[in-house]
Amino acid sequence: MLHNSTKNRVVGVNIGVAFTSYAIVDVRGNIIAQEEFPTREHPSINEFVAYLSERLVMIMEANGGYETIRSVGVGVPSGNFINGTIEHAISLPWKGEIPLASMLRDRLGMAVAVGNNAHVRALGEHAFGSAHGMSDFIVITLGPGVGSCLFSNGKPHLGTEGFAGHVGHVCVKPGGRQCGCGARGCLEAYCAEKGIVETARKLMESSEKPSLMRNMDQLDPKLITDCCEQGDELAIQTYQVTGEILGVIMANYASIFNPQAIIFTGGISKAGHWLFEPARESFEENVFHNLRGKVMFLTSALTDLERSVLGASALAWEVQEYSLFK
């Protein structure tokens, strides 16, 4: 006799620096129920896993029952799909190598997959967003860091140890700015949050021009974009410099990879044309000539809430169903 699987829903979890959000999601990407709590209230990883598991069981029980859930997908900074760990995440309170997938699986009794932000976002865009139907594309996450995930032949390319996609640590300028990773001249030191603010500061220091940015105590990419909108010359120049660097590295990436599209997500992508016009220009100047004009630049087709949990839900489908009682 053929069974119609009753486990037609999964849980997507997004562990962010500020909030951990989670949702029950069906096969079509409908969010059945969604909640969140502050990540930093749980400085011990054991306590965090215990609390998260409790909350997950509660939301399952309140929405159709534990037995309707097939598996759990978790997106987390420095998550490694291949061994199910968080590996030395700089932005999270928990240090070292954490076997998150097995810790959650032991408490929940169901399969758990872990992936890093870029991997999870790429799965989300492929399943439900801008990359639907594409087999070769790149997702770039521009935020506190710069991450990426590439799809090859319709599958995410994770690399031999699951560390693929670290475009943030590609060398832009040998001996250039100090990066958080210890090396110098990484893309992240120029095109992630802190790097962009540093570029703005350097432009202000080396110029006499008036700028709205000069009056701001705590500059960030969002405020710089606001200044651009008001015609602030140095703010516009900040994104021009950033875009030129981003464009060169995207061109290099595309020359190697020949993607159908590059999809930009993350807070900094909200700078819109201020960033992407100069990036596009420098991209076309530097990309392998056969690819000129052929690689689409896209932004995410998902809302912030969807992006945080739909990708993780897509990840949940990548692991085999698991049960102690099978």
Residues that bind a second copy (CB under 8 A): 87-88, 134-137, 148, 150, 152-153, 155, 157-167, 169-171, 174, 181-183, 248, 251-253, 255-260, 285-286, 288-291, 294
Nearest alpha carbon to residue 132 among 32, 28, 33? 28
Q: How far is the CB of 299 from a second copy (least distance, A)?
A: 19
Q: Which two tokens stand for residue 234?
A: 């140095």
Contacts 24+ apart (CB under 8 A), 176-185: 180/90, 180/145
Q: How far is the CB of 265 from a second copy (least distance, A)?
A: 17
Cα separation of 234 and 111, whole Å?
51
CA 49 remoteness from chain centre: 22
Q: How far is the CB of 226 from a second copy (least distance, A)?
A: 30
The nearer residue to a second copy, 30 or 135, going by C-beta atoms, is: 135
Cα separation of 176 and 198, whole Å?
13
Q: How far is the CB of 171 from a second copy (least distance, A)?
A: 5
The nearer residue to a second copy, 45 or 158, going by C-beta atoms, is: 158
Q: Is the distance from CB of 97 to CB of 275 less than 8 angstroms?
A: no
Q: How far is the CB of 191 from a second copy (least distance, A)?
A: 14
Q: How far is the CB of 294 from a second copy (least distance, A)?
A: 7
The nearer residue to a second copy, 7 or 88, going by C-beta atoms, is: 88
Q: How far is the CB of 63 from a second copy (least distance, A)?
A: 35
Q: How far is the CB of 260 from a second copy (least distance, A)?
A: 4
Place of tokens 């032991």: 106
Q: How far is the CB of 264 from a second copy (least distance, A)?
A: 16
The nearer residue to a second copy, 182 or 231, going by C-beta atoms, is: 182
Q: Residue 324: how many CB atoms within 10 A of its CB? A: 8
The nearer residue to a second copy, 48 or 137, going by C-beta atoms, is: 137
The nearer residue to a second copy, 214 or 292, going by C-beta atoms, is: 292
The nearer residue to a second copy, 96 or 159, going by C-beta atoms, is: 159
Which residues, in sequence order, are bridge partners of residue 98? 86
The nearer residue to a second copy, 63 or 286, going by C-beta atoms, is: 286
The nearer residue to a second copy, 62 or 256, going by C-beta atoms, is: 256
